[in-house]
Structure 1
Amino acid sequence: MRRRIISLTVLAALVSTVLFALPLGIAATRYYRDDSTTELERAADTVALAVSHALDAGLAPEVPPPGDEDDDADLEVGVYSRDGRLLAGHGPAAAGPIERQAASATVDVVTGSEGDDLVLAVPVLSGSQVTGVVRAAMPQSTLTVRIALTLHGMALLAAAAIGASWLLARRYTKRLVQPLEELAAAAGRLGDGDFSVRSPRAGIPEIDQVGETLDATAARIGETLERERAFSAEASHQLRTPLTGLRLQLEAALETPAADPYAAIRAGIASADRLERTIEDLLALSRERRGQRAELNLGRLLDELRQAGEALLGPQGRSLRILLEDPPPTHAAAAAVRQVLGVLLDNAATHGRGAVTVLARDAGDALAIDVADEGPDLGETDPFATTPRGHGIGLRLARGLAEAEGGRLRLSRPDPPTFTLLLPAAPA
């Protein structure tokens, strides 16, 4: 990329220089041609004025110096008679076509080339009579050298401009490309799994905007992966509830060989169904985004909870009571509420004692579902904190699911232990 930017910059400078230098070179060439013609005409007019009296009197003319000897060292001036003989000065012995055309007195000035010389001829007049011709000549090489020197100087300036463009392009390309290279390196580290990478700021708004977007993307991906890892770790704990119920049912069937085996098989199949539903719920919750929810079918949900509770608490000789006190309708994902209540039921079965009571009631602007057991006083213990034994993992997941539905899960009373799930009531 560096080479491409430098090449394009130098190419742009070269094209600009050529487009500027071409008409300037043509103008300089025309200027030197016109200047040489003016110089010849000035020298010829000066000599014509000086020799006009001598030619009119029939005397031999004397040609004065054409001017500054340094400036006009290559300038030759000669005086010719009407018949084409060289009378004075420098030039060919016989007049050429340019001089003869000037002697015809049809034009005031005649210019042209004779051999390697640029020639200008003017007639010397006495009244309307031509008494002679003044010829001024300059080598074509003199004009060529002047034009070549000018073009050479222009070429040097063009080379200097292109060189300066190359140096500036290298300097600013480094400033432009280096942030892009650092941005590419940051993107590579992000692709390798380093979500803590942050791109440096270059002071160029467009590049900084890309860097900020990349930083935000890295932060979002890191948070998403962290949330998914935490969700996976916590969801694995959630699968223990139906597995525990299934194990207890099978152990109870083994301890009572005289019992009907078909009842144990049916209970095992029911527990396997609940396990499959739990897996489907967790997969659905891990993929779905918060959106418009349908009204929660609380009766059906509590019936499912009753079946799960009987399978989980029955082998322990414990009972489950479900009470309704005019609960208001609410909009929430059934999978999320089912998992929250499942966590609370599993927590009561594992850490609590006695009967478990589930009470659905009206809490003003919210639906409150209380899950209580007859276990010991929790005191100042934080049940949502994760302990080395894993206590609190499921409760923390349940609280996250409740908050995702716009609700809350809290320990409403430590004695007897009572957890309350609050969900916003549906508007009337």
Structure 2
Amino acid sequence: MRRRLVRLAVLAATVAVVLFGLPLAVAVTQYAQIYKLLDLERLADRAALRVAASLSDDGAPSAEELRDDATLTYLSVYDHDGAFVRGRGPDPADRFVDEALNGISAAGTDRDELVVAVPVTHDGEVVGAIRIAGPTRALLWPVAAAWAGLVGLAVLAVGVVWLIARRQAVKLARPLEELTEAAQRLGDGDFAVRLAAVDVLEIDAAGNSLNRTAARLDDLLARERAFSAEASHQLRTPLTSLRLRLETALDGTSEELRSAVTAGLRSAERIEHTIDELLSLARDTRSDVAPVDVGRFVGEAVQQRSADFTAVRRDLRTVIEPEAPHASVSVAALRQVLAVLLDNSLEHGAGTVEVTVRDAGDVVAVDVSDEGPGISLPDSALFERRSASAAGTGIGLALARRLAEAEGGHLRLARPAPPVFTLLLRAADPH
């Protein structure tokens, strides 16, 4: 590509130089010819003054009167009848002399000569003509020097264009090569590729479009990967509960089987809701949310999960302050955060689990506590995704905090021992 750009620039410069140089060379030649003819005419006029007296007396000018005034030029004289008198001109007289005898100066080219003829006058009458001529090649040698200078300037101009084109080709080709490489990396699945601005409008526009595409693909892939991991994590508990209930029902009576099937259907419904909510959260397709009665929602959610805690002989209870305000939060996000905290207490905690909903000023606080031995991890490691020090998969608490922050809230460890997790949610505007 760089070579093509350089060749194109040099070709354009060459065409421009030729289109400009040829007319200029022709103009220089014509100017030199006109200038030389004027010079010859000046020499002829001087010679006419010298021979005017001799021709008026029907005499022949002397050799001194017809001496050449310049190198490579020669003079000749003709009488009033056009008869050759003296010099090195043609005999008989040519058309230039004929025009001069008619009182009109004549100038032009004749084969390889520049020719000027002027009338010789005495007392207002034409008494003869002076003809001066010289070889064209010898008289126009400055034209060759001018042409050589033009050719040199043309070569210099093309050379300068070649040097500039090489630099510009590197400047233009490098970002295009980087753009091509980035597009190939993007096609190979490297969505982290980014291009820096190069101060070339068109290339920057293409680079920005590629950067936006890579960012969207990277975000989409991250969402899909997060959904896969989060769905697996969130579905593990209800699937385990469903499996245990069905296995228990196999060893029970028909009435117990019916009860197990009913509970299994509820668990399947919960799994279905979990999948829908995780898809909505992962793809960020939620619309504006209505204020949520957090106390009522937490009460219903705790009631649905009470069987899981009863199965392991643990208590699950709620404390809901009646003056707790509604919160501006997505029901799906709130359900998933609460599910993570309850699953965390069920798996890693001990004793009674208590969920408290209270008014905390401009926010609604949801506290989830148990009687476990406590948590020794720092906050940064506790909520880090895939943390090496995590007791489980390292997904649940990281997911819960991310969902809380996406809703404008915050999840933190309020007390390490016995552990208390606090979810802070924005209070809804009462108006």
One fold, TM greater than 0.5? yes
Superposed displacement of residue 233, structure 1: 2.6
TM-score between both structures, scaled by the size of structure 2: 0.83
> CA 1:307–1:143 in 2, change beyond 3 Å: closer, same or farther?
farther
Aligned partner of 1:377 in structure 2 is 373
Q: Which residue of structure 1 aligns with residue 98 of structure 2?
A: 100
Task: Tell me the secondary structure at the aligned position of residue 372 of structure 2.
Answer: coil
| Alignment correspondent of 1:127 | 123
Residues 231 and 397, structure 1, Cα contact 8 Å, conserved in 2: no
Alpha-carbon distance change, 182 to 113 in structure 1, aligned in 2, over 3 angstroms: closer
Alignment counterpart, residue 243 of structure 2, candidates 238, 241, 247: 247
Partner of 2:425: 423
Q: Which of 152, 173, 178 pairs up with 1:177?
A: 173
TM-score when scaled to structure 1? 0.84
Instruction: Kindly state the Cα deviation for residue 169 of structure 1 after the two structures are TM-superposed.
Output: 1.2
SS at structure 2 position matched to 1:260: helix
Matched, 1:257 2:288: no
Partner of 2:84: 86
Of 146-155 and 399-408, deviating more is 146-155
Looking at structure 2, the residues matched to 254 and 323 of structure 1 have their Cα atoms a distance apart, in angstroms, of 37
Quick check: 1:245–1:312 contact (8 Å CA) kept in 2? yes
Q: 132, 139, 145: which is aligned to 1:136?
A: 132
CA distance in 2, matches of 1:357, 1:384: 21
Q: 1:346 to 1:76 in 2, by over 3 A?
A: same
Please report how far the alpha carbon of residue 400 of structure 1 lies from its aligned counterpart in structure 2 after TM superposition. Answer: 1.9
Alignment check: 8 A CA contact 1:78 1:136 kept: yes
**1:250-329 matched pairs, under 5 angstroms:** 250-257=246-253, 259-288=255-284, 292-298=288-294, 301-302=297-298, 304-326=300-322, 327-329=324-326
Segments of structure 2 that go 5 or more residues without pairing to the other structure are: none
The question of whether the paired residues in 2 share the 8 Å contact of 1:412 and 1:418 is answered with yes
Q: How many corresponding residue pairs?
A: 420
CA–CA separation in structure 1 for the residues paired with 2:216 and 2:341? 31
Percent of aligned pairs with the same residue?
A: 46
Contact 2:117-2:129 within 8 A present in 1 as well: yes
CA contact 1:182–1:200 (8 Å) conserved in 2: no
Q: Secondary structure at the match of 1:239?
A: helix
Alignment gaps of 5+ in structure 1: none
Q: Is the 8 A contact 2:317 2:354 kept in 1?
A: yes
**CA distance in structure 2 between the aligned counterparts of 1:129 and 1:417, rounded to whole angstroms:** 134
Structure 1 residues 23-82: Cα deviation after superposition (integer angstroms, max 9, x where no partner): 43343133222222222212222222222232233332124322232xxx1x22111122
Compute the displacement of 1:396 (Å): 2.5
- 2:159 partner letter: G
Is the 1:310–1:320 contact (alpha carbons within 8 Å) kept by the matching residues of 2?
A: yes
Of the structure 1 ranges 343-352 and 5-14, higher mean CA displacement relative to structure 2 is found in 5-14
Aligned counterpart for 2:340 among listed residues 336, 339, 343: 343
User: How is 1:179-194 mapped onto 2 (pairs within 5 angstroms)?
Assistant: 179-194=175-190
- Deviating more after overlay: 58-67 vs 279-288: 58-67
Tell me if structure 2 keeps the 8 A contact 1:84–1:100.
yes
Asked if 2 retains the 8 angstrom alpha-carbon contact of 1:43 and 1:77, the reply is no
- Equivalents in 2 of 1:414, 1:164: separation in Å? 75
1:377 partner SS = coil
